[in-house]
Amino acid sequence: MSCNKHVFGVFDATAADRIGKGKCDVDGINPNLCTHLIYAHVELNKAGSIVRLPTYDGKHAMRRFNDLRDQGNRRLKTLVSIGDPNMATCQPVFSRVAADVLLRETCARNVRQFCETHGFDGVDINWIGPASTDTNNFVLLLAALATELHATGRLLTVSVSASDSYTYDAYDIAGIAAHVDCILLMAFDYYGWWDSYTGHNAPLYRAERDRTDLQAKLNVAHSVSVWLERGAPRDKLILGLAAYGRTFTLANVDVCGPREAAKAKGRAGPYTRDAGTLAYFEVTEALGANAGARTTWDEEQCVPYAVCDGQWISYDDASSVREKCKYIVRESLGGAMLWTIDRDEFQNDRFTLLRTVHECFQSTSPEHKWIVIEYFDHFLTEPVFGFYGSWAAYRSGRGKCDVDDINPTLCSHLIYTFAGLNADGSIVHMDSWLDLPQGKDAMRRFNNLRDHGNPRLKTLVSIGGANNSCCCCPTWRLRGNGLLLTTSVGINRPYNVASVARNVDYVLLMTYDYNGSWDAYTGHNAPLFAGQGDRTDYQRNLNIEHSVNCWVQGGAPKSKLIVGLAAYGRTFALSSAGNSGPRAPSTGPGQQGDYTATPGTLAYYEVKQIPNLSRRWDAEQCVPYGTYQGNQWVSYDDEESIRRKCEYIRSSGLGGAMMWSIEQDEFQGGRFTLLSTVNRYL
């Protein structure tokens, strides 16, 4: 398997005891679709010994499982899962062993000896539900296991819950990551029969209907972001995918969307026989056999669901798995894990979901990185411009963003700001020490980004400035022939639109700063549409839709219009903390950020680190805003509003998007949250 992403496949050995179509024996596994196969499971006792081998191992299943390495995939690693999906059984045993230094050492030796005896390349620790009192002991147990296993060249992985209750209270993420080779994030079971309403088993993103703080966290993207923020290395984090669906019995068959009333678990499948759950092969069989079944794709959360004979089924299919593989690549995660391969459409070696993962990652080898970006993100279908504020190299700490921090695969065009213009028409460097080889050599390094995985990237320099009396900042590409000319234009400036558009390759609309601390009231920095609070004609014009319409009606070709997106927020000091909606009276700019140090403005990454920010969503204008510290009010863009704007760009037939500016995005660790969202939806 030629792949630079790990693909873990978990095999539930009890599947050999199923009947008919559901029976999956070791011999039915295709070893060429994974980099790692995990045999589930064996258990510990309170003495730190592996005490129970499943009865089905009388069929020599473990030996045959490890023999899969000899069937065409010599690089395959086999692991055994230690634990029990039943947390009530597993928790007290792990807790006791982890709390005692002698038991930890005994357990580690026994685990190593078990691997040596049965031929496994490593171990996955499946302690899903540690208590908050187990946090330190869990790390100590992993440390003991790592010492024994790594000394003999064996692997140690850990399967962890995606639930915030464990992430914050029970896991020392940095401590865990220090000792294991991979972290298998079980990013599923967000909703299920335990709820009184329907919900997706493994939604990729948040939906607008997710109103509460809890609901906003029940998605894959949130779980991943938390693990990364709390110290998990990207290359160790393996995203779990579910080869099963969660099912509900609808309270009313005519009311059947997500988060609608459910009265009971869904019916058990004919093979897995577990009410509230269906294997993927049972889902496809049920939908194929029922002419009245209706399937729906949830555009917001990138997963399907189905309604069939009063049953509501949330599941993953090839399309949603493909979306999650794109996400893994964009976020530079270590790979994927499928739980479990025997619940996939494994019959006749189909392995529909596992094969989808395999095929998605087949194209991700380093020598074909550009192909990956083009294949996964439809790169260059819509131009994506990213402005880089070179002065960010002078910021301190977390705010410092150098040229080398830029991910060049997320843009079709990168723009270096700024160069100046003399009265005689000559170009002048705004910061020679930063720009030129005798100093930081930033311009040369900026243009060299074209050699870092995106050979189609165009680099431009912006001439003018945010504080220049000339708001039209023409830019062009600094190499060879075929130079590009674009212009950045303000939203409230008079232009001869047709003439401007005729002479440039693109018009970059600076569709932000509609409201700010210069006003006597709060307002959105970059609203997509007008809102009911916009009382006057002037106020009704302060939105992206109006600005775009003006340029189109003035004669600008839609294909040349690039909509500007803001990676920063505008802040205000409220006159009264009790009056905190849009158009609320304000006394001036909000407090400056720790890194950008400009009153009235916060970079997106500064917004994200505001403690106890009370986020609200303006459904009319399709942007969020929030309050904090009593009288502080911020209008900003986040992933949801950027998604809405990208959808507007596509549906309106516009040329693409521009972000001002990428060093104000959540760039740390290569994340570029907003810019990555643009890539996802354009």
Task: Provide DSSP, 407-419.
Answer: -GGG-SEEEEEEE
Q: Does the pLDDT of residue 378 top 70, yes or no?
A: no
- 401-434 pLDDT, tens digit per residue, is 999 899 999 999 999 999 988 888 889 998 988 9
Question: What SS3 class is residue 528?
Answer: coil
Q: Does the pLDDT of residue 481 top 80, yes or no?
A: no
pLDDT at 377: 36
Q: Does the pLDDT of residue 590 top 50, yes or no?
A: yes
Mean pLDDT of 363-388: 52
Mean pLDDT of 302-311: 94
Q: Does the pLDDT of residue 87 top 80, yes or no?
A: no
Q: Band of the pLDDT at 380, cuts 50, 70, 90?
A: very low
Question: What SS3 class is residue 452?
Answer: coil
pLDDT at 75: 87
Q: Does the pLDDT of residue 372 top 50, yes or no?
A: no
With left for phi above 0 and alpha for psi between -120 and 50, is residue 153 left, alpha or beta? Answer: left
Distance CA 227, CA 559 (A): 40
- 605-637 pLDDT, tens digit per residue, is 999 999 889 999 999 999 999 999 999 999 999
Q: Does the pLDDT of residue 453 top 80, yes or no?
A: no
Q: Does the pLDDT of residue 67 top 70, yes or no?
A: yes
- 353-363 pLDDT, tens digit per residue, is 999 999 888 75
Distance CA 24, CA 21 (A): 8
Same fold flag, 6-242+318-362 and 384-567+638-681: yes
| Token pair of 350 as six digits | 């189909």
Q: Band of the pLDDT at 54, cuts 50, 70, 90?
A: low
Distance CA 281, CA 20 (A): 12
Q: Domain 384-567+638-681 falls in which CATH fold?
A: TIM Barrel (3.20.20)
pLDDT at 52: 62
Kindly report which listed range (97-106, 116-125, 200-209, 420-429) carries the lowest average pLDDT score. 420-429
Q: Band of the pLDDT at 76, cuts 50, 70, 90?
A: very high
Bond into 418 cis (ω within 30):
yes
Q: Band of the pLDDT at 480, cuts 50, 70, 90?
A: very low
Break the chain into its structural domains and give their ranges: 6-242+318-362, 384-567+638-681
Query: What would you measure as the largest C-alpha separation in the chain, in angstroms?
Result: 89
Distance CA 194, CA 470 (A): 61
Of 492, 662, 468, 644, the C-alpha closest to 568 is 662
Percent of the chain surpassing pLDDT 70: 92
pLDDT at 100: 97
pLDDT at 56: 52
Distance CA 81, CA 40 (A): 5
Question: What SS3 class is residue 312?
Answer: strand
How far does CA 599 lie from the centroid of its chain?
Answer: 31
pLDDT at 165: 80
User: What CATH architecture does domain 6-242+318-362 belong to?
Assistant: Alpha-Beta Barrel (3.20)
Task: Determine contact, residues 36/7, Cβ cutoff 8 Å.
Answer: yes
- Which range among 394-398, 472-476, 531-535, 544-548 has the greatest average pLDDT? 544-548
Distance CA 220, CA 198 (A): 17
Mean pLDDT of 301-327: 94
Of 45, 49, 209, 181, the C-alpha closest to 114 is 49
Task: Determine contact, residues 8/335, Cβ cutoff 8 Å.
Answer: yes
Q: Does the pLDDT of residue 368 top 70, yes or no?
A: no
- 212-255 pLDDT, tens digit per residue, is 889 999 999 999 999 998 999 999 999 999 999 999 999 999 99
Burial of 260 (0-12, 13-18, 19+ CB in 10 A): middle
Q: Does the pLDDT of residue 187 top 90, yes or no?
A: yes
- 246-303 pLDDT, tens digit per residue, is 999 999 999 999 999 999 999 999 999 999 999 999 999 999 888 788 999 998 899 9
DSSP state of 343: G
Mean of per-residue pLDDT scores for the chain: 89
Q: Band of the pLDDT at 468, cuts 50, 70, 90?
A: very low
Of 636, 632, 605, 610, the C-alpha closest to 622 is 636
Mean pLDDT of 593-602: 96
